Amino acid sequence: MIQEEVFFDNSKGMRLHGVLRFPYENAQNLPAIIICHGFMNHKDHILINYLATTLTKKGFVTLRFDFSHHGTSEGDTEDATVTKQIDDLKSAIKFMLDEGSVDSSKIGVLGHSLGGSVAIMSCIDNQNVRAIVTLNATAHINQLIDSYLSDTEMLQWRKTGSTFINGNKLNKHFLDDAEKYEVLEYAKQLNCPLLIVHGASDRRVPPLSARELLRDSNLPKDLKLIEGANHDFTAEQNREEIISLTFSWFNRFMR
């Protein structure tokens, strides 16, 4: 497996940092998967790294990257927004289209948590994406945000203009921006094979979100519930199962 650090710009000229992995040296015309991290997270999260490593070993070029204002990409966390993340993913897709080792007609997107929701919203008008897999994606972004804060903390955020989540400061404009997006409305417009994988024991994003996404998305689509799996799929057997499901879906539509 070959690894390369890469940098590319979003449409606002902000520098994004990613890691490309190739199954072998001098790879050519291979299918590729772009992996999106979750809310207030980063590309080096153990789940994201595991997905990239395992899928590369199975023959895909993978790109895991930090959204702007996250990880080692440009920008402070407090200035992050969903709108920027949608733009970042579109920029990542464009970057992969120009990557010489990639078959530009065989690009897939894999997103965890909010990253899965962003995948759906970014790809409704992108003919270059052949398949999408979401892992514990939320159908309602505000409900995901609410799961991190008490009612009192939410009121304080709106009143003072900022809050802290996972030790990171986040300004109120993230909340205001998120309220503009109805993920289910985007799912209705998506014309791309969609696999929805969800932990049956996810307390951060209840499985109802997955059922709503399945209901409102277009064929081909499928929902797989993983018994006992939490939001980050921390159990080894759960991760092995999501790899099996993810690989089968991408292999079906991208080989």
Has residue 158 been placed in a domain? no
Has residue 30 been placed in a domain? yes
Does pLDDT of 71 surpass 90?
yes
pLDDT for the residue 255: 82
> What range does the domain containing 40 cover?
2-140+182-254
Does pLDDT of 166 surpass 90?
no
Has residue 174 been placed in a domain? no
Has residue 152 been placed in a domain? no
Q: Which residue has the tokens 């449409």?
A: 11
Has residue 166 been placed in a domain? no
pLDDT for the residue 241: 97
249 pLDDT band, cuts 50/70/90, is: very high
Has residue 16 been placed in a domain? yes
Q: How far is residue 2's CA from residue 248's CA, in Å, rounded to a whole number?
A: 23
Task: Give exposure, 159-172, as e/b (b: 16+ Cβ within 10 Å).
Answer: eeeebebeeeebbe
Has residue 48 been placed in a domain? yes
32 pLDDT band, cuts 50/70/90, is: very high
Has residue 77 been placed in a domain? yes
The domain that holds 207 is classified in CATH as 3.40.50.1820
pTM as predicted: 0.96
Handedness of CA 245, 248, 253, 255 (dihedral sign): positive
pLDDT for the residue 230: 98
Give 157-169 as a 3 state SS string: HHHHCEEEECCEE
- Convert the pLDDT of each residue in 46-59 to its tens digit: 999 999 999 999 99
The number of folded domains in the chain is 1
125 pLDDT band, cuts 50/70/90, is: confident
